[in-house]
Structure 1
Amino acid sequence: MSKADRYLQAGTRDNTRRSYRATVEHFEETWGGFPPATGDAIVRYLAEYADQHAISTLKQRLGALAQWHLTQGFPDPTKTPAVRQMIKGIRALHPAPEKQAAPLLLQDLEQAVRWLERDAEQADARQDLAALLRSRRDRALVLIGFWRGLRGDELSRLQVEHTQAQAGVGITFYLPHSKGDRQHRGTTFCTPALKKLCPVQAYVDWITVAGIAHGPVFRKLDGWGHLAEDGLNSNSLIPLLRRIFNRAGVSGDLYTSHTLRRGFANWAAANGWDIKALMIYIGWKDMKSAIRYIDTADSFRALATAQRFTSATPRAQELTVAENP
């Protein structure tokens, strides 16, 4: 690979490249298409899978096929009037509600953290290092993921050397790139220390017991308490989160890596954050992205218990997110 090719490749996220490659392979090998494709071929491709896949999946495939044609110097066949009409027709004949992760309620977060803290105390008492490490890691994972509203891939890519934490004060994370950072300028995420369910103290406790000085914050653990060098794979977060909440007595079978992010967004909306403050804190660029994460007030009546945390949790004006220039 040439030096120029390395820079060009770095401009596209790994997940995006894999998705594009899988789509082109599906179009060619599974369906039998021949790129460069025509608009008519794209219509027939969509028709073949219209009743098998969600509209979001079909649109992702269109995006990948469009990108392949553009990068290869061919006209984009997915922008023809017939393709647009096809998408409208699929929506009309196969209406389906958008699937979203179940949001994490604050009382469920509290129950899980309480269980993890108790588990850590018991592990420490019997000198079970593996169990202690797992409890400390899991507590830091769910608290940081919730209060900072991070995506699963962002949690998996946090690095110790890019994190500054001061117990009782706050914590700052720097990510060199993220999904919303199209220019790869890097993004800094901050959150203050809390009186309860504190992500800062959870991070300090985890880093201290794990003895991590550099590399990924969140890593795999084997049965003997040995830490992996690599960070957790973002795809492993779903079974990990479900295992954490199920063991804590919270039904976590519907939870995904977006559960923490949606949970925070709904908590913030229920506690008086306006949409602009929430967008700035999470890092959303458009209103539609934010609205998709917020349920109606009726869905969050259970958050009445959040009033007990009002003096212990951050208000919108106290939380900031800033992009590095």
Structure 2
Amino acid sequence: MIAIDDYLHAATRENTRRSYRAAVKHFEEEWGGFLPATAEGILRYLARYAGVLAHNTLKQRVSALGQWHVDQGFPDPTKAPVVRKMLRGIQEVHPAQERRARPLQLDALEQAVGWLEQQQDLARQQGRSADLLRPARDKALLLIGFWRGFRSDELARLEVERIEAVAGQGMRIQLPRTKTDRSLKGSTYLTPALSRLCPVAAYLDWLAVSGVRSGPVLRGIDRWGRISEDAIHAASIIPLLRRILGAAGIADVHLYSAHSLRRGFASWASANGWELRALMEYVGWKNISSASRYVDSHDPYHRDMLERLLPAKPLPSPAIDAPDS
């Protein structure tokens, strides 16, 4: 029988628990603060790291400290109006430009997938069956991640039991929890089979090569070709993606992250005529502001639109009557 604590533990995502533990550790061990804290203690902590940590990081740390107090039954000092005012002041004094991952363009995706397929062909020719595993897994990761616009944690939580795939038709992916699914109802995503760069074929190929029949889809693979029973960690997807892109000959791999797959698909779809509302429904965005952060316009300065509005030739100057003599 599952204990009460197990249900309470399941109510919070593992990524959230991890970030909260890191925040409490930073407050106590690195800064030397004491818990439970006072509002004044929170202010001094914020003043120490204002301009050192990103504003969003500070907000997350404050949220974590607040949750710690609630969980332990103490009054929450982070709810004090002066703490909120302090955060607004820090943002005003230390404005930060948002850094966004470079979108993975379709030609770069094709280049990376082409390199992975070359590695598969070479392994087959040389009879190295173990070396088929990594490129098959990586191709499934890239193509599912791109065409579905999945986040890294969503890719890491894919399970065979929650995917129905039919070769040449499509696949149905069910995720019991997503970042925007506050009600925990789960979400279902449909992905078509494509004539090339097909996520369905890549997924089925990975299952065939790996022998995975249940549990996590994307798993770790050690140097001897042994497949882990556990899912690949979400945090490892960024270095994995950069390794794939670098090996495929794509430049500036440090500019790419797991969000590059999501941003790449969104920008590609927008450039090819998808209406924003249709794109939001497909990817799973709940509001326009979230969607717009991922879409790179093909005309960022709106030059095409403004040029169309300009007159074809300069307007004639108005006639000026000569003054009476």
Fold-level similarity (TM above 0.5): yes
Q: Contact between 1:172 and 1:190, CA under 8 Å: does it hold in 2?
A: yes
Instruction: Please report the RMSD computed on the Cα atoms of aligned residues, expressed in angstroms.
Output: 2.0
Say if 2:99 is the partner of 1:99.
yes
Distance 1:287 1:63 in 2: 25
Shift of 1:299: 6.2
Does residue 239 (structure 1) correspond to residue 256 (structure 2)? The answer is no
Q: Which residue pairs with 1:139 in the alignment?
A: 139
Give the structure 1 partner of residue 297 of structure 2: 296
Of residues 196-205 and 215-224 in structure 1, the stretch that sits farther from structure 2 once superposed is 215-224
Are residue 73 (structure 1) and residue 73 (structure 2) matched?
yes
Q: Is the 8 A contact 1:147 1:191 kept in 2?
A: yes
Aligned pairs for 1:92-241 within 5 A:
92-241=92-241
Q: Output the CA distance in 1 between the equivalents of 2:135 and 2:24.
A: 42
Does the 8 A contact of 1:130 with 1:223 survive in 2? no
Aligned residue runs from structure 1 range 80-95, under 5 A: 80-95=80-95
State the alpha-carbon separation in 2 of the partners of residues 2 and 170 from structure 1: 37
The structure that has the greater radius of gyration is 2
CA contact (8 A) 1:133 1:209 kept: yes
Which amino acid letter does the alignment assign opposite residue 173 of structure 2?
A: F
Secondary structure of residue in 2 paired with 1:237: helix
| 2:94 partner letter | H
Tell whether the 8 Å contact from 2:270 to 2:297 is kept in structure 1 after alignment: no
In structure 1, give the amino acid aligned to 2:270: A
User: Offset at 1:2?
Assistant: 7.9
Deviation readout 1:251-270 (Å, 9 max, x if unpaired): 22221111111111111211
Identify which range, 91-100 or 31-40, moves more after superposition.
31-40
Alpha carbons 2:112, 2:245 under 8 Å: kept: yes
Between the aligned partners of 1:295 and 1:129, the Cα distance in structure 2 is: 40
Which has the higher mean CA deviation after the structures are superposed, 223-232 or 79-88?
A: 79-88
Q: Which residue of 2 aligns with 1:266?
A: 267
Task: Decide whether aligned partners of structure 1 residues 299 and 229 sit closer, same or farther in structure 2, where only a CA change above 3 A counts.
Answer: farther
- In structure 2, give the amino acid aligned to 1:261: R
Paired with 1:268 and 1:33, the residues of 2 have a C-alpha distance of 48
| Residue matched to 2:59 | 59
- Residue 277, structure 1, aligned to residue 273, structure 2: no
Q: Quickly say closer, same or farther: Cα 1:279–1:73, change in 2 above 3 A.
A: farther
Pairs aligned (count): 301
How much does 1:287 deviate? 2.2
* TM-score, scaled relative to structure 1: 0.87
1:222–1:33 CA distance, 2 compared to 1 (3 A): closer
For residues 35-72 of structure 1, give each alpha carbon's deviation from its aligned partner in whole angstroms, at most 9, with x where no partner exists. Answer: 33232221111000002111111011111112222333
How do residues 8-27 of structure 1 correspond to structure 2 at under 5 angstroms? 8-27=8-27
User: 1:210 Cα deviation (Å)?
Assistant: 1.3
Q: How far apart, in 2, do the equivalents of 1:275 and 1:212 lie? A: 37
For 2:4 and 2:215, the matched residues in 1 are separated by: 28
Percent identity between the aligned chains? 57
**Contact 2:46–2:58, Cα closer than 8 Å, also in 1:** yes
* Counterpart AA for 2:134: R
- CA deviations on 1:214-267 (whole Å, 9 max, x unpaired) are 121111222332211111111111111111111111122221111111111111
Unmatched segments (≥5 aa) in structure 1: 301-325
